[in-house]
Amino acid sequence: MDITVIGTGYVGLVTGACIAEMGNTVYCVDTDPKKIENLKKGILPIYEPELDTLVTENHAADRLHFTTTLKDSIEHSNVFFIAVGTPPGEDGSADLQYVVEVARQIGSLITRPSVVINKSTVPVGTADLVQATISEQLKQRGLDLSFDVVSNPEFLKEGSAVNDFMHPDRIIVGTESENARQVMTELYAPFIRNRPRMMFMGVRDAEMTKYAANAMLATKISFMNEIAGLCERLDVDIEHVRLGIGSDQRIGYHFIYAGCGYGGSCFPKDVKALISIAHQNDYEPKLLQAVEDRNAVQKQSLYNKLMTHFDGELSGKTFAVWGLAFKPGTDDMREAPSVVLINSLINAGAKVKAYDPIAADSARREFPEQWFNEQKLTIVEGQYEAAIDADALVLVTEWKPFRRPDFKALKKLLNHPLIVDGRNQYDPVQIKREGFTYYGIGRMPINA
């Protein structure tokens, strides 16, 4: 098959590379010329395990092409993936301008019956909008071409996106068309050879499935974070509660880790968008609003613990921060709890020395240059370097090298033996033995 993927962000690039790997010819289109030039040279805009090899090898094998114009791919392909961004607008609703513009271009260029597959996360009814936009263009061109619009949401996780695409739990396909059904079945057959994982449903059902999946996962996290707050007041350890409830198969162990809040490009955006969709439809999303509110509170929790410990006096202090990315395995800092913490600390007059295995460059783009120049914020090269003369260590992202640190070395480096653990990585018994003061999430503080 010859396929076009429009948008080379996480979803688009992973989709394009994985489909090319299965022997298809894929044209990846992006309006950003720098991005396209870099991709041709094997320079990727994102860090994602295995993706660089997949991109370079398939590009070299002439199966994966990069271009800035849809025109270049149109004569070869009649299957189009739309994978452009749907960023939140001011009211939290998904901004569909890029999706609509791509639909307009497709409608203005296609010359053969086509299948247009929407992979971007979009509100219910967007497939209809794409359909209408393409039809309008065809009408203007006086062409009577048949085409199908399919909703095929992506469930990839950053840090394991290639693996998720290659071994999907399920492939959701929203379509009413038999032709589109066949195309999608053929396209995904190599990924699900041993396990039939295609689920067909209506277009609107598929669009809602994506939002509901992310909102459910975000709800699990906010629920645990809410219980964690209560645990802190009742001398209960949320980690024991987590294991206790996770063993119930109806609940399960996944996504019930209390922490300093969820971040990333999906959960915050999609929960906000779903709230906005509800409001547009005169429906009060009480639970979703609570999920969002709890997460906002949660992202402030590390700062609040430091404020409590230091009696509101953070000015002039220095804090070591371990982990900047919104989760391990990625350099993505979008909506990361580290951003909320660092902003609060610096605004309170404190200094921050931060370390992250791969998100250093993202951090340099995230914060004002002035903070680096004035050494309010320093990004250091090693985890122990961050601790030198710091008044506390705050663990924000649970990268593996942070899990079993050399506590003795840490104690020597820090001004105070104080750890604030935003991901409950440490065993309170060991922490006590090592002589640290310790704050976790949903567990009682330990005083050295």
Tell me which of 55, 180, 221, 238 binds ligand UDX, using CB under 6 A.
Answer: 221
Q: 43: left (phi > 0), else alpha (psi -120 to 50), else beta?
A: beta
What residues from 276 to 305 belong to the interface with ligand UDX (CB under 6 A)?
Answer: none
Spatial neighbors of 365 by CB under 8 A, at least 6 apart, are: none
Tell me which of 13, 116, 134, 156 binds ligand UDX, using CB under 6 A.
Answer: 156
Site for ligand UDX contains 215 (CB under 6 A): no
Site for ligand UDX contains 399 (CB under 6 A): no
Task: Tell whether residue 305 is among the known ligand binding residues.
Answer: no
Residue count, binding to ligand UDX (CB under 6 A): 19
Cα–Cα distance for residue pair 264/268, rounded to 1 Å? 7
Report the nearest approach of ligand UDX to the CB of residue 398 (Å): 8
Q: Is 28 a catalytic residue?
A: no
Using an 8 Å Cβ cutoff, are 438 and 445 in contact? yes
Sheet holding 79-82, edge to edge: 64-67, 25-29, 2-6, 79-82, 114-118, 147-151, 171-174, 198-201
Give the x/- contact pattern for ligand UDX in 318-337, rule: CB under 6 A.
Answer: --------xx----------
Report the nearest approach of ligand UDX to the CB of residue 184 (Å): 18
What residues from 254 to 273 belong to the interface with ligand UDX (CB under 6 A)?
Answer: 255-257, 259, 262-264, 266-267
Report the nearest approach of ligand UDX to the CB of residue 155 (Å): 4
Task: Tell whether residue 258 is among the known ligand binding residues.
Answer: yes
For residue 404, how many C-alpha atoms fall within 13 Å in the half-sphere facing its CB? Answer: 0
Using an 8 Å Cβ cutoff, are 335 and 263 in contact? yes
The packing angle between helices 301-309 and 337-347, to 10°, is: 40
Q: What are the percentages of helix, strand and coil residues in the chain, rounded to 5?
A: 45, 15, 40
Alpha helices in 141-285 (DSSP H): 161-166, 178-188, 203-234, 238-246, 267-280
Q: Looking at 62-70, 155-163, 378-386, 413-421, which segment touches ligand UDX (CB under 6 A)?
A: 155-163
Task: Tell whether residue 351 is among the known ligand binding residues.
Answer: no
Site for ligand UDX contains 7 (CB under 6 A): no
Task: Tell whether residue 408 is among the known ligand binding residues.
Answer: no
Q: What would the two tokens of residue 125 be?
A: 């009814």
Residues with active-site annotation: 266
Please give the residue ranges that form the binding site for ligand UDX (CB under 6 A).
Answer: 154-158, 214, 217, 221, 255-257, 259, 262-264, 266-267, 326-327
